[in-house]
Amino acid sequence: MAKESVVRNNIWKWLVLLLLAAVSVHVTFPPKEKIRRGLDLSGGTSFTLGVDEEKLAETILAANPAYTNDPERVQAEIDKVLKDCDERITGVIRKRVDNMGTNEPVIQSLPKKHQLIVQLPGADEKLRREAKARLQSMAYLEFRLTHPKDYQLVDKLLAKDACPEGYEKKGSGYARAADYAQVAATPGYAARLAAFGTTDDRYRFMLEDNKDGTYSPHFVSRQVELTGDNLESAAWERDSLKGGFEVKFRLDAEGGRKFSTLTRNYKAGGPKNKTGEGRCLAIILDDTLISAPRIQSEIGSEGVITGRFTLQEAKQLAADLNAGALPAPLKILAESSVAPTVGDDAIKSGTWAAAIGFALVAIFMFIYYWYAGLVANIALFLDVALLPTALVIVANILGVFAQDPSMGGGGSVQLPVLTMPGIAGLVLTLGMAVDANVLIFERIREEFAAGRKAGDAIRNGYGRAFTAILDSNLTTILTGIILFVVGTGPVRGFAIMLTAGVLISMFTAVVVTRLVFEHLVKPERAEPFKMLQFFKAPKFDFMRYGNKTLLASAIIIVVSLAIFFGRAIVNPASVLAVDLTGGTSIVYDLTQDEAKQPAVGDIRAALDAFDNATVIQYQRGVGNTTLLVKTGESAETAKGRTLPDRNVGAYVTSLLTEKFPEASLTEASVEEVGSMIGDDLKKSGRNAVIFSLIAILVYVGFRFKFGFGLGGLVALAHDALISLGLFSLCGRQVSLIVVTALLTIIGYSINDTVVVFDRIREQLTRDARSSFKDICNTAINACLGRTVITSVTTFFAVLALFCFGDGTIFDFALMMLLGILAGTYSSIFIATPVMFWWYKGKRPDFDEDEEKGEQK
């Protein structure tokens, strides 16, 4: 009768389970439409754009020479431009990207930093180059008059030997000198060029590109007569008279009136031009002189921009003018490109890692716990099946802390974008998912050993394990929230996957498995569930070795970190990845014939003339070999600015393919990060680690006592530092995904510490006679089986990821493997001894409310 009552009371739980399953099906099927891939899985290009304040300042100075010695006025003008500019920048960029015909581009604004992330899935090299040029083009169109005596002044100037900086005389104009790129990159160059040869501050010196390697000088008024703000439309067309292509434009009514008045006043014999020749009208785009045609007659609302354009240039100019002008110049702060084949390989390897990780965990649980293990495997299967629902819920919750359209949220029922770190998060959660089941099963084992029947054993087992499950999983959720807030793109995908996996595994472990037991197990059953046991009544004196283990860990940490920081001082690029230092990183797929693969020394020799501090690493995985080449040069460095299109990746590739043609080098991915983004990522990574440690200290201290929080904090610092030091000794570079692994270790390794602390608190409230040292030893021994089992299952899952992952995922898995070992060690030999030391071996007192809570 009692069992029938339980079944009736559980109906609503089954209905909730069915509802969650229905939502998962709805948001997942059909997969091709519902599951969106990130760039690292679909291939494509991503740009991080930011306002180029240095160039903006130079433009302001070039237009206003009076501000030269007044930096406050320049900054005031910059602030005026930047105020409320983000929305307009996003709108203009969105129109330009849409005109490129890309498939489902992602455009995300970061207003506080005046930055913008643009992702172009599936973009090939040609589209990447086109996008790079168009995204940085301001398309700011201006019409200005030239000096009334422009030609005379130019002839007089050319009769002299003087040349503008970065140029040399050639024919009836100038040509760029060999050092032009370096000179043009120096501060204040635009203002100096504008002042060259001028005797009247109302006019500035400008050069018109003749498209034959020469530039014709003009003296152009600083006063703007008309801007592209009045532009209504623009279209390219063929120039039937001169050949080539031109851009025809139409102005709105106001612009038409202004243009008509301007051309009427300054045509030959016009009211403001009594000479027999019309004034020249300079057409300026992005502070560059396109052409300076002479005004022949009055022009209304239509005009033509001629500038010896190619077809592609004319099309691009028309499209950019139609999209609108940017209010401020943009520069590319970071750029990454991934070949589509790399994404396919990543999905394949991620699928294998998930399948093998799932199988290893399921087989282990079945062998170790038999019937209960089968129930845990049902929960493990449901973890995967219900995960889509959890992802949608978590994306909406985390979206409150930081909005990210690609990651869902905002009331959307769309799945967040799937990234490779997200797949890594899935594999990791498969290993961590059985943690709650292990806690429950070990408690049930204890209840059976105390002589209780199945009904009471199951009820008490779930009840007494719940506090430890909640405490241990909340720390991981805290880490996930911090990762989402401070991270971007793929890291946020990982944070959502990790948090969703923890939440759904808690639900299946606490609710679903209990439903199964209550429906299939007779309450009066006296025979215990068949389970294996690694340790039968262990009585190890762990506390005896506390001082020695603390000293050993300290020595390992000091030595490994000394090596790490020593290498970082000599060459930061040797220990930090490109996303933290700035520079360019290229990953190549190459021939599997090792005899044709160049030696690291030969590659270094080939690149020495360009960068003698290049980092070169081979990674030989299952069925593939990749080569990483990382240089500190980027588009913003002195050498990078001298390269064609400032394309460091293309230049390095050309050097290597020319030197090693038999290696069949193929670019798998290219990542270029400016120093500003690198500094931001280092800062956010550092803050994330600090915030995580503080959050966990506060939480553990609040749930237990300060001494417990301090023990947990020292253990976490130990896990993070020792993992980082050993990781560096393996010759790997610390990247943002490695920092993500560090944070995951912090969130994961505290779990076992919290479980041990929870058992210590329970023992303190139940055992008033034993010494504090004995209670600590008893608690660690009681949790030892659970500690080993959860470490083994997580280790299995991450090991699969380690074997099948490559690139950054390989690094993530390696760091996690080290962290799992460190976390297992620290929960036994670091956290409790430090806590014990804080209380000087005396029993801490818990108040009566805590005692009552533990006894329930």
pLDDT in tens, 319-336: 888 888 888 888 888 888
- Average pLDDT in the 222-237 region? 90
Number of Cβ within 10 Å of residue 452's Cβ equals: 18
Cis (ω within 30 of 0) for the bond into 405? Answer: no
Q: Which of 284, 329, 282, 331 is nearest to 59 (CA)?
A: 329
Alpha carbon 153 to chain centroid, angstroms:
54
Q: Label the pairing between strands 215-221 and 666-673.
A: unpaired
pLDDT at residue number 816: 93
- Average pLDDT in the 478-501 region? 85
Q: Which residue has the tokens 């978590």?
A: 394
d(CA 316, CA 235): 10
- Residue 206: pLDDT band (50, 70, 90) is very high
pLDDT at 677 over 80: no
Residue 671 corresponds to which tokens in the numbers above? 């990542």
Residue 506 corresponds to which tokens in the numbers above? 């808690």
- Residue 685: pLDDT band (50, 70, 90) is confident
Helices 772-804 and 420-432 cross at an angle (nearest 10°) of 140
Residue 24 corresponds to which tokens in the numbers above? 């998962």
pLDDT at residue number 7: 61
Q: Which of 837, 624, 822, 634 is nearest to 722 (CA)?
A: 822
Q: Is 514 helix (H, G, I), strand (E, B) or coil?
A: helix
pLDDT at residue number 3: 58
CB-based burial label for 84 (10 Å; 0-12, 13-18, 19+): exposed
804 close to 350: Cβ distance less than 8 angstroms? yes
pLDDT at 848 over 50: no
- Maximum C-alpha span of the chain: 115
* Residue predicted with more confidence, 99 or 301: 301
d(CA 611, CA 630): 10
- Average pLDDT in the 694-706 region? 85
- Residue 853: pLDDT band (50, 70, 90) is very low
305 close to 8: Cβ distance less than 8 angstroms? no
pLDDT at residue number 5: 59
pLDDT at 847 over 60: no
Q: Which conformational region is residue 793 in: left (phi greater than 0), alpha (psi within -120 to 50 degrees), or beta?
A: alpha
pLDDT at 551 over 80: yes
Q: What is the DSSP letter of 294?
A: B
pLDDT at residue number 856: 38
pLDDT at residue number 145: 96
Q: Which residue has the tokens 């990078």?
A: 640
pLDDT at 784 over 60: yes
249 close to 233: Cβ distance less than 8 angstroms? yes
pLDDT at residue number 723: 95
- Residue 1: pLDDT band (50, 70, 90) is very low
- Dihedral angle computed from the Cα positions of residues 287, 290, 294 and 298, in that order, rounded to the nearest 10 degrees: -80
pLDDT at residue number 678: 75
φ/ψ of residue 231, rounded to 5: -75, 135
pLDDT at residue number 731: 84
pLDDT at residue number 653: 92
- Average pLDDT in the 337-352 region? 81
Residue 518 corresponds to which tokens in the numbers above? 């209550």
127 close to 144: Cβ distance less than 8 angstroms? no
Query: Using one digit for the tens of pLDDT, what is the confidence trace for 511-522?
Result: 999 999 988 898
- Average pLDDT in the 792-808 region? 87
Q: Which of 128-137, 201-210, 400-409, 549-558 has the lowest mean pLDDT?
A: 400-409
Q: Is 533 helix (H, G, I), strand (E, B) or coil?
A: coil
Give Cβ neighbours of residue 613 (< 8 Å, ≥ 6 apart). 571, 573, 631, 632
Number of Cβ within 10 Å of residue 296's Cβ equals: 11
Give Cβ neighbours of residue 156 (< 8 Å, ≥ 6 apart). none
CB-based burial label for 551 (10 Å; 0-12, 13-18, 19+): exposed
- Average pLDDT in the 563-577 region? 87
Tell me the chain's radius of gyration from C-alpha atoms. Answer: 33
* Residue predicted with more confidence, 391 or 8: 391
φ/ψ of residue 200, rounded to 5: -130, 115
Residue 81 corresponds to which tokens in the numbers above? 């431009």
- Average pLDDT in the 806-822 region? 89
d(CA 844, CA 856): 21
- Average pLDDT in the 262-288 region? 92
Give Cβ neighbours of residue 725 (< 8 Å, ≥ 6 apart). 556, 557, 559, 560, 561, 563, 564
pLDDT at residue number 503: 94
28 close to 321: Cβ distance less than 8 angstroms? no
pLDDT at 818 over 90: yes
- Residue 780: pLDDT band (50, 70, 90) is very high
Q: Which of 143, 496, 77 is nearest to 328 (CA)?
A: 77
Query: Using one digit for the tens of pLDDT, what is the confidence trace for 76-119?
Result: 988 888 887 888 888 888 888 887 777 778 888 877 778 898 98
Q: Which of 504, 428, 431, 481 is nearest to 741 (CA)?
A: 428
pLDDT at 4 over 70: no
433 close to 380: Cβ distance less than 8 angstroms? yes
d(CA 402, CA 724): 28
Q: What is the DSSP letter of 1?
A: -
d(CA 674, CA 666): 24
Q: What percent of the chain has pLDDT over 90?
A: 41
pLDDT at residue number 846: 65
Residues in the chain: 856
d(CA 734, CA 724): 8
Q: Which conformational region is residue 736 in: left (phi greater than 0), alpha (psi within -120 to 50 degrees), or beta?
A: alpha
Q: Label the pairing between strands 203-209 and 215-221.
A: antiparallel
pLDDT at residue number 488: 73
Q: Which of 148-162, 195-209, 410-424 has the lowest mean pLDDT?
A: 410-424
Helical spans, DSSP H, in 433-545 = 435-449, 454-486, 490-507, 513-520
Q: Is 541 helix (H, G, I), strand (E, B) or coil?
A: coil
* Residue predicted with more confidence, 734 or 490: 734
- Average pLDDT in the 806-817 region? 86
φ/ψ of residue 626, rounded to 5: -120, 155
pLDDT at residue number 854: 41
**Mean confidence (pLDDT) of the chain:** 87
- Residue 668: pLDDT band (50, 70, 90) is confident
- Residue 33: pLDDT band (50, 70, 90) is confident
- Average pLDDT in the 242-271 region? 91
Q: Which of 58-67, 662-671, 782-791 has the lowest mean pLDDT?
A: 58-67
Q: Which of 143-157, 370-384, 586-600, 753-767 has the lowest mean pLDDT?
A: 586-600
Q: What percent of the chain has pLDDT over 70?
A: 96
